[in-house]
Amino acid sequence: MDTHISDSSLRALLAAQRAAHAQHTPDYAQRVDDLQRLRAAFKARFDDLATAMSADFGHRSRHESQLADEMTVLHAIDHARSHLKRWMKPKRMLADWQFWPATCEIRYQPLGVVGVIAPWNYPVNLALIPLVEALAAGNHVMLKPSEHTPRTSAALAELLASVFPQERVATVLGGPEVGATFTTLPFDHLFFTGSTAIGRKVAMAAAPNLTPVTLELGGKSPAIVAPGYPLATAAARIAAGKLLNAGQTCIAPDYVLLPTAAREGFVRALRGYVQQHYPALRDTPDYTSIVSERQYARLKNLVDDARAKGATVVTLPGEDAHDPARRVFAPTLLLDVDDGMAVMQDEIFGPILPLVGYGAIEEAVAYVNRHPRPLALYHFDHDRARTERVLDQTLAGGVSVNDAVLHIVQSKLPFGGVGPSGMGHYHGHAGFLTFSKQKPVFRQARFSSLALLRPPYGAFAERMLKFLTR
Ligand code: NAD
């Protein structure tokens, strides 16, 4: 629901944030204090946030909320706190030798006011991690969380208002209309997480202001299982990544490429995984519901379309596992798929897993490269040389080898898409850099060697230039 905050109130909010930032740019002590107070309030209120998320989804696994939304945010805060001093320190270096004894340095300065727009699927993580990194870099922040998780967004607004004044961190509630207005504000940086289609609109709205954008988008992330890789291990790791949040994860394995002959064994292994980990799928608190009727219907349509066009549908653990009333969408495998089916064209964003057979690994690589550059790629292989080849021959936002999803939770790895899956990076130091101006400074010495190279150019200049351009 749009709360119809007007364009003029949004602009007034931005002006107040910008004035406050100009008056007092957060120094190291202030930033550490901000992060500490946010951490304490976040920990104290996380139960309320988890309850809100579960109510918004219909049901959301509390353990998964803790893993994906609590632990990750606490990690981001702690990592920033412990590295911030080093990140902020100007980096000094010698100038290029021709300019000695001059020196150079890079200083890291906050950009000013950063706008953050978040989606619904990890509504706490994807709102707070960019916010934490923007604050660590010394910015003020305006956050627009998703309208599809309204209780969580309201709880986030309360949490942030309990820690920060409006002119430092403000939460703007509302849907696409508010989002569209928000993106026309002349922010110093705009950080958007969401779909590729809306990402395009965000880039266009930011262009007239030349507001730099980071776009964290979606797409179809393939998992490749190489010949000879243990199927039970691949199936368990792919299923764990896929069924987290019931597949409503930007980097969930979207489909699996595997040797055609391995298909039956892989289906058996996936069935075994689901039976073991979700023995009573309809009743377990560990399996998350689909966020809305609209999303549930979208997933059902993907399966119906694939079935009508000749796919074989395998519902796990069995046909009666769906519970539409509670929006429990059972893990669903699709065999015999082709590119004419909607499920092989659009990002799935739910617990549907198409299996695509290949003959030689080159076919799998060619399949990936025929499609838009994905946000993530997973390769399961114990052959190092072949793994290197696959890594060299494909381009993706990020990669986990022999597992799924886990590259996103490494604080030393930058996270971000490429091409239609996004632009720019964050997480850890990469986030600090995204939200900072890396300001280069050249410092001339008392004696400048360049004084020797001024007109009128004579024989000395000739000799010098001959040497410098040798
Ligand atoms: P979405 O693009 O529909 O919405 C995201 C946000 O944009 C919401 O806050 C929404 O209100 C706002 N919005 C809607 N219209 C807007 C407009 N015209 N201008 C500005 N803002 C607008 O995405 P969603 O359905 O909430 O999330 C699912 C998508 O997000 C999937 O494609 C998924 O892959 C992607 N995603 C990416 C990442 C990542 O890190 N790369 C993480 C999570 C989700």
- Read off the pLDDT band of 4 (50, 70, 90): low
Q: Using a 6 Å cutoff on CB, does residue 175 contact ligand 1?
A: yes
CATH for 381? 3.40.309.10
Q: Which atom of ligand 1 is nearest to the CA of 375?
A: 41
Question: What are the residues facing 319 on neighbouring strands?
Answer: none
42 belongs to a structural domain: yes
User: Which residue CA neighbors atom 23 of ligand 1 most closely?
Assistant: 194
Find the mean pLDDT for residues 309-331: 95
Within this chain, do residues 18 and 105 fall inside the same structural domain, yes or no? Answer: yes
Contacts of 470 (CB under 8 A, 6+ apart): none
**Cβ-contact 404, 223 below 8 angstroms:** yes
Among 207, 201, 135, 199, which residue's Cα sits nearest to residue 434? 135
- What per-residue confidence (pLDDT) applies to 262? 97
Within this chain, do residues 209 and 274 fall inside the same structural domain, yes or no? Answer: no
Find the mean pLDDT for residues 345-365: 97
- Read off the pLDDT band of 282 (50, 70, 90): confident
Gap from CA of 210 to ligand 1 centroid (Å): 21
Q: Is 55 exposed, middle or buried (0-12, 13-18, 19+ CB in 10 A)?
A: middle
Q: What is the pLDDT of residues 132-155, one digit of tens each?
A: 999 999 999 999 999 999 999 999
Q: Using a 6 Å cutoff on CB, does residue 298 contact ligand 1?
A: no
Mean pLDDT of the chain: 96
Name the one residue in this structure whose structure tokens are 């080093």: 86
Gap from CA of 215 to ligand 1 centroid (Å): 10
CATH for 186? 3.40.605.10
Report whether pLDDT(452) > 90. Answer: no
Number of domains observed in the structure of the chain: 2
Within this chain, do residues 192 and 272 fall inside the same structural domain, yes or no? Answer: no
Q: What is the pLDDT of residues 223-261, one digit of tens each?
A: 999 999 999 999 999 999 999 999 999 999 999 999 999
User: Which residue CA neighbors atom 32 of ligand 1 most closely?
Assistant: 195
- Pairing of β 189-193 and β 103-110: unpaired
2 belongs to a structural domain: no
Report whether pLDDT(338) > 80. Answer: yes
Within this chain, do residues 31 and 157 fall inside the same structural domain, yes or no? Answer: yes
Q: Using a 6 Å cutoff on CB, does residue 144 contact ligand 1?
A: yes
Q: What is the pLDDT of residues 45-59, one digit of tens each?
A: 999 999 999 999 999
452 belongs to a structural domain: no
Within this chain, do residues 287 and 274 fall inside the same structural domain, yes or no? Answer: yes
127: Cα within 13 Å, side-chain hemisphere:
30
Q: Residue type for 203, please?
A: A
Q: Using a 6 Å cutoff on CB, does residue 56 contact ligand 1?
A: no
**Cβ-contact 244, 71 below 8 angstroms:** no
Q: Using a 6 Å cutoff on CB, does residue 422 contact ligand 1?
A: yes
pTM reported for the whole predicted model: 0.96
- CA pair distance 13, 51, nearest whole angstrom: 30
**Cβ-contact 168, 189 below 8 angstroms:** no
Within this chain, do residues 256 and 383 fall inside the same structural domain, yes or no? Answer: yes
Within this chain, do residues 13 and 100 fall inside the same structural domain, yes or no? Answer: yes
Q: Which atom of ligand 1 is nearest to the CA of 182?
A: 20
Within this chain, do residues 33 and 122 fall inside the same structural domain, yes or no? Answer: yes
Longest dimension (CA), the chain: 92
Among 343, 281, 287, 289, which residue's Cα sits nearest to residue 312? 343
Find the mean pLDDT for residues 443-457: 91
DSSP H/E element including 182: helix 176-182
Among 352, 357, 404, which residue's Cα sits nearest to residue 379? 404
Range of the domain at 313: 222-416
Within this chain, do residues 62 and 124 fall inside the same structural domain, yes or no? Answer: yes
Q: Say what the alpha-carbon torsion angle 256, 353, 377, 75 is, to the nearest 10 degrees.
A: -140
Within this chain, do residues 15 and 147 fall inside the same structural domain, yes or no? Answer: yes
301 belongs to a structural domain: yes
% of the chain at pLDDT higher than 70: 99
Which residues belong to the active site?
A: 216, 250
% of the chain at pLDDT higher than 90: 96
- Read off the pLDDT band of 3 (50, 70, 90): low
451 belongs to a structural domain: no
446 belongs to a structural domain: no
Question: What are the residues facing 15 on neighbouring strands?
Answer: none
- Measured between alpha carbons, how far apart are the two ends of the chain, in Å? 68
| DSSP state for residue 248 in the 8-state scheme | -
Encoding tokens for residue 169? 């961190």
User: Which residue CA neighbors atom 6 of ligand 1 most closely?
Assistant: 119
Question: What are the residues facing 85 on neighbouring strands?
Answer: none
CA-to-CA dists, residue 434 to 154, 208, 243, angstroms? 27, 20, 31
- Read off the pLDDT band of 450 (50, 70, 90): confident
464 belongs to a structural domain: no
Within this chain, do residues 119 and 25 fall inside the same structural domain, yes or no? Answer: yes
Name the one residue in this structure whose structure tokens are 């499609």: 371
- Read off the pLDDT band of 1 (50, 70, 90): very low
- What per-residue confidence (pLDDT) applies to 2? 46
456 belongs to a structural domain: no
- CA pair distance 46, 66, nearest whole angstrom: 9
Q: What is the pLDDT of residues 422-442, one digit of tens each?
A: 999 999 999 999 999 999 999
- What per-residue confidence (pLDDT) applies to 5? 84
Q: Using a 6 Å cutoff on CB, does residue 216 contact ligand 1?
A: yes
- How many residues appear in the chain? 470
Report whether pLDDT(346) > 80. Answer: yes
Within this chain, do residues 355 and 316 fall inside the same structural domain, yes or no? Answer: yes
Region for 134 from its dihedrals, namely left if φ exceeds 0, alpha if ψ lies in -120 to 50, beta otherwise: alpha
